[in-house]
Amino acid sequence: MGEGLFNALNPQVGDYLTLLGSTGDGAINAVDVQVAGVINTGVKVLDDRLLRVNLSLSQELLYTSDVTRLLVLLEETSMTSESVTKLTMAFREHGLVFELKSWEELADYYHQVVGLFDGVFDFITVIVLVIIALSISNTMLMSVMERTRELGTIRAMGGTPTQVVGLILLESMFLGVIGGLLGLLGGILMARGVNFGEWMMPRPPGSTEDYPIRILIALDILLKTFVLGVLTAFFSCVYPAVKASRIAVVDALRFS
């Protein structure tokens, strides 16, 4: 029995109860059952109504030999597509006409929640990138201003404006790569620390249990973040680089 239903009826494990229900023909039927234990799914609405029995007992209560639905539980979510393919082929080989649906087709609410959070995180990502780009651009612009005489010397020794732009952009690429690697390393260490700390999140609405925070390290997300960081650092320095290349040599050498 679900924990909520168990507490509401207040039986003891091992007690006998009587289940009353309607058969497929609409008649009233009843069977005696013995309480074997308590189930806690973590979802209050489900635990208040959950009653798990074996197939033969449910068929006896409903006075039928039919099965309306079979649920296959997998050890890993990544096995969904492979399992659907294998089951479909097995049904065809044995001439069985079953309607087969994966959890992805049935979990509309899950996909809506994922879509909502993806939109929120994308919006936050854009805001963070804009802030980072402005910060890097301002930092590089200040750096260029402080190195005006140095850049003027490079121009006086024969350096072209294109070479000055390339020099600053190359420097920004190195800074972006180094900063990206340090950021990835720091993020991985923080994720490991959070997982090791076993911190608990407060129970969400409708749930009855807290759950531990788990930060999964995905290589594709790490690579995407690294590339995005390097590109942001590169394009943020385009304006300071162009501005530095347009400074007159004489003015640059007189700058103090």
Digitized pLDDT (tens) for each residue of the chain, 256 residues in all: 998 899 999 999 999 999 898 887 888 999 999 999 998 887 888 888 899 998 888 888 888 888 888 888 888 888 888 899 999 899 888 888 888 888 888 888 888 988 999 999 899 988 988 888 888 888 877 877 777 788 788 878 888 888 888 888 888 888 889 988 998 999 899 989 888 888 888 776 666 677 788 888 888 888 988 988 888 888 888 888 888 788 777 777 776 5
What is the DSSP secondary structure assignment for residue 204, as one 8-state letter?
P
Question: C-alpha 45: how far from its chain's center?
Answer: 25
Task: Give the tokens for residue 149.
Answer: 């005489």
Task: Give the tokens for residue 49.
Answer: 């109504």
Task: Give the tokens for residue 19.
Answer: 């289940």
Q: What is the pLDDT of residue 182?
A: 92
> DSSP readout, 223-251?
HHHHHHHHHHHHHHTHHHHHHHHTS-HHH
Q: What are the beta bridge partners of residue 18? A: 32
Beta strands at 200-201 and 211-212: parallel, antiparallel or unpaired: antiparallel
Q: How far apart are CA 238 and CA 172, in angstroms?
A: 9
Q: How far apart are CA 251 and CA 73, in angstroms?
A: 74
Alpha-carbon dihedral sign for residues 207, 209, 212, 217: negative
